[in-house]
Chains A and B, each alone.
Chain A
Amino acid sequence: MTSFFHIRRLALWAITALVMIALPLLLTQSFAISMLSQMGIAVIFALSYNMLLGQTGMLSFGHAVYFGLGAFFSAHALNMIGAGNLGLPVTFLPLVGGVAGLAFGVVFGYVTTKHSGTPFAMISLGIAEMVAACSLMFPSFFGGEGGISTDRVVGEAVMGITYGQGRQVYYLIAGWCFVCMIAMFALTQTPLGRMANAVRDNAERARFVGYNPTRVRYTMLILSSFFAGIAGGLAVINYELVTAESLGVVASGNVLLMSFIGGVGHFFGPIIGAVLVTYLQSALSNYTLAWLLYFGLFFLVMILFAPGGIASLLAMHKPAWDVGQLRRLVPSYIAAGAASLVILAGLITLIEMIYQVETKKEQSGTVMNLFGLTFDAANAGPWIGSLATMAVGAALLWGASRLVRASWQQVTIAINAKRGA
């Protein structure tokens, strides 16, 4: 049984690697490539965050501090390489960020990890605010509001790789991302990783068993800031720029969102979250000015209906998959999905009309294009129509949700039957 799992796990890693290699061959626009690079960075960062939140139960509001400081040190290191004062290949630059993140993890972590729960969260917030405020006060290191900019094309080309092209940068990030993913996964399997879980679940019992919870938390924080720093170093190579906002509270909040939306209870949750949130944040804003609102609504819906994140939704289906009953759910899911799409279409129309009237009326009038239809938001028709669409969608969803429940009942019976047998 165990070996079977291992084969499956190896296969999963191999598929991940293949996907990472293949993606830029399919998406060739430079915007797409840089978005993929961004995703790779976000994946490392979110996974490192989950070492705290998901694995050790530490809610941090200041994780971007390690990411940002790692990035600043990498940027200075890259400039030194460029000036010929440092002999380090650009490929290994993220290590500088990692070491910097680790060093600050050692310093700040000593203070923060004395406590857990809310005091830890609050101290991390306080430190984040302090570091963010300092970053504007010391322009010689942090470069003021303009940040520190660098040039990644330095030194001699190694096998034709100069990192001038976006695709080379992507493969560098993908490589680091893959290595970090494996390293962080491996960590969850070590005694330390297991102890972190124990500390998360019940710190007192962990102490009785003879482990010092403070030390476990401290070690986990140091390791996690190392990976956050690596992500920061990669961000420098990708953007060739690092600004104070990368260590700010907003960035810290963002990584929390990513991990939570993806699901903190599973190792692969933050990966999904990082990819999805990065996509939403960069791509959605190309289509609509209301993207912040959509994003906020999406987030609220996730918390209200799927607090375990996307990963837990997926994991929920594993037993059904194991007994081969997944196809039973498909029809009801299709119905529910279609009903949701109807609601969504109504909602999107409504929100877009509000934005059109509120912010774009004067540039382009109230006539607008949506879903291939042209209509005038100054008339009552589209408003009634969109509300009616939403109402119809809601009624459909209500019906569909009963269908979903019914099919789940059947599946549960089948699973229990299998288990009983």
Chain B
Amino acid sequence: MLSKISRTAIAGAAAVFSGALFSLGAHAQSTIKIAYLEGLSGPFANVGEVGLRHLQYAADRVNAKGGVLGQKIEVIPFDTKTSPQEAQLVFKQLVDQGIRYMMQGNGSAVAIALTEALAKHNSREPEKTVLYMNYGAVDPSLTNEKCNFYHFRFDADVDMKMQALTTYMVQQKDIKKVYLINQDYAFGQSVAKAARAMLTKKRADIEIVGDDLHPLGKVKDFAPYIAKIKASGANAVVSGNWGNDIALLIKAAKEAGLTAEFFTYYAGGLGTPPVIGEAGVGHLKQVTVFHSNIGGSRTADEVNGYRKRFPDSKDDFYWTSIMAAVDMLARSMEQTKSTDPTKVALALENMKVDQVTGEAYMRADNHQLVQPIFVSTFSKSNGKDVKFDVERTGFGFRTDARIEAKDTVLPTTCNFKRPKG
């Protein structure tokens, strides 16, 4: 009796489970699939989800207009767990599934691992090439010595942003002594190096009074670093810190009454403004390719549109690079009447795009999008020049300067082989 019951139970359970597995395996046919590779579990999952929302938002817009070549764009998320090695495994999976386009942007370590895997794959299996759209990994090497024909970057890299930032800084006559504080790893070190080189070249009277590297994410209390900055007499601080490392740095500065201006890359990064709050107002600046208050009705439409689409998320429209990537991808497919990555890649070169921030174009020699860059200050929102706040904090960024696209172009050492289309 009991064994009979259990037999039916097992059969039922097996049916249910296999049904679940099959439903996961089945995908609708004839769509243009974009694999989205990001950490979707673990500590950085929220950052991955923000990008996914943007990609979904961009794809929805293209699909609403009838899609590309009569096909819809389908976004397929993959979890890289923000690990380079996992990312390589995930890459194999998307190749298995026959996906030809992928997007990633969080973490240069993952990005470098992916371009290497991509280069090997594309040369070993040229009939199954994959194209890689990078929306936020900013290591300069990706468009220099490690560049790859099938990799396109839509965000500005560390050096381009530093170029823009220092252009702005040297115009501020009262900046005399600059302190550099960065995380001790590849990105932080390259920020420190670029800042030192560009500042001293552009204005001889600027003195670098300190250059600290601290371990990544290990410092709980920045008070001693702030004491050091204070003692050096610096009136400007340059930092590439992100996450808690920037939030704690700013909080400690506020507590100690340090009045120096902070020039940062990621003050507006997800989750940072709520922690900084009042402590950053007026003297915290960031350099980005976009922020919500650059002005213009199109910007307002994007910000409001995104808020309407995702009303419960606290994040805001941020990744113009994802919009540009999807937009340009769709156009080059229409232009070439093809979904073949090689043809699409060739069409992407030198393509112009009309972004909310202004006109941008894809450099052909290293596949870097050239676009305007903004320096902005963390301020209280006031409904005028700080119309939109970030993450519903009541604080937002106010534009200090706009550096035009042409002024951010840097020489490249990139030298890739271009296949025949």
Direct touch of chains A and B (CB < 8 A): yes
For B183, the closest partner residue in chain A by CB is A136
Tell whether, in the assembled complex, residue A345 and residue B13 are in contact, meaning their CB atoms are under 8 Å apart: yes
Q: Chain B residues with Cβ under 8 A from A372's Cβ? A: 16, 19-20, 23
Min Cβ gap A301→B in Å is: 18
- Could you tell me if B185 and A145 are in contact, using CB atoms closer than 8 angstroms? yes
Given the known inter-chain contacts A136-B215, A363-B52, please indicate yes or no for A285 contacting B2, CB distance below 8 A. Answer: no
- Which of A31, A38, A289 has a CB less than 8 Å from the CB of B96? A31
For the complex, is A412 an interface residue (Cβ under 8 Å from B)?
no
On chain A, the residues within 8 Å of B19 by CB distance are 371-372
Is B79 located at the chain interface by the 8 A CB criterion?
A: yes
**Residue B17 at the chain A interface, CB threshold 8 Å:** yes
**Chain A min CB distance to B400 (Å):** 30
Looking at chain A's contact residues, is the secondary structure mostly helix, strand, loop, or mixed?
Answer: helix
Q: B148-177 vs A: 1/0 string, CB under 8 Å?
A: 000000000000000000000000000000
Dominant SS at the B interface?
helix
Q: Is A245 an interface residue (CB 8 A)?
A: yes
For residue B93, which residues in chain A have a CB less than 8 angstroms away from its CB? 31, 286
Q: Please, which residues of chain B bring their CB within 8 A of the CB of A342? A: 9, 13
> Given the interface contacts A146-B112, A291-B41, does A239 sit within 8 Å of B2 by beta carbon?
no
**Residues B66-125 near A (CB distance < 8 A):** 79, 81, 83-86, 88-89, 92-93, 95-96, 107-109, 112-113, 116-117, 120, 124
Residues of A within 8 A of B7 (CB): 334
**Which A residues are CB-close (under 8 A) to B17?**
371
A30 touches B41 (CB 8 A): no
Number of interface residues of B (CB under 8 A): 58
Choose one: A241, A369, A403; the contact of B85 (CB below 8 Å).
A241
Q: What's the minimum C-beta distance from B188 to chain A, rounded to whole angstroms?
A: 10
Contact A334 B186, CB 8 Å, known A147-B113, A286-B93: no
Interfacial residues of chain A within 115-157, with CB under 8 A of chain B in the complex: 133, 136-137, 139, 144-147, 149, 151, 153
> What sequence of 0s and 1s flags, for each residue 4-25 of chain B, a beta carbon within 8 Å of any chain A beta carbon?
0111011001001101110110
Contact B9–A338 (Cβ < 8 Å) = yes
| Residues on the B chain within 8 Å of A331, using CB | 2-3, 6
Are A146 and B108 within 8 A (Cβ)? yes
Q: Which residues of B contact A246 (CB under 8 A)?
A: 85
- B109 and A147 contacting across the interface, CB-CB below 8 Å: yes
Q: Tell me which residues across on chain A come within 8 A of B5, comparing CB atoms.
A: 335, 338
Which residues 249-303 in A have Cβ within 8 Å of B in the complex?
282, 285-287, 289-292
For residue B162, give the distance in angstroms from its CB to the closest CB of chain A.
Answer: 18
B313 interface contact, C-beta 8 A: yes
Total interface residues in chain A, CB < 8 Å: 51
Do A136 and B184 contact each other (CB < 8 Å), given the known contacts A282-B89, A372-B23? yes
Chain A 7-32: CB-based contact to B (< 8 A → 1; otherwise 0): 00000000000000000000001110
In the assembled complex, A361 has its CB within 8 A of some CB on chain B: yes
Contact of B3 among A147, A291, A334 (CB under 8 A): A334
Min Cβ gap A149→B in Å is 5
Hey, what's the 0/1 contact readout for B189-224 against A, CB within 8 Å counting as 1?
100000000000000000000000001101000000
B312 nearest CB neighbor, chain A only: A362
A337 interfacial by beta-carbon distance below 8 Å: yes
The reply to whether the CB of A341 lies closer than 8 angstroms to some CB of chain B is yes
Residues of B within 8 A of A324 (CB): none
A243 within 8 A of B: yes
Judging by beta carbons under 8 Å apart, are B310 and A334 in contact? no
A401 interface residue (CB < 8 Å to B): no
Knowing A136-B184, A291-B41, A371-B20 touch, does A34 contact B89 (C-beta < 8 A)?
A: yes
B184, A145: Cβ atoms under 8 Å? no
Could you say which residues of chain A place their CB within 8 Å of the CB of B351?
none
Instruction: Point out the residues of chain A lying under 8 angstroms from B3, CB to CB.
Output: 331, 334-335
Q: Is the CB of A136 within 8 A of B185?
A: yes
In the complex formed, the residue of A with least CB distance to B108 is: A146
Residue B187 lies at the interface, judged by CB distance under 8 Å to chain A: yes
Top 7 A-B pairs ranked by shortest CB distance? A372-B19, A144-B186, A338-B9, A145-B109, A146-B112, A371-B16, A341-B13
Q: Mark A residues whose CB is within 8 Å of B.
A: 29-31, 34-35, 38, 133, 136-137, 139, 144-147, 149, 151, 153, 164, 166, 239-241, 243, 245-246, 282, 285-287, 289-292, 331, 334-335, 337-339, 341-342, 345, 359, 361-363, 369-372, 403
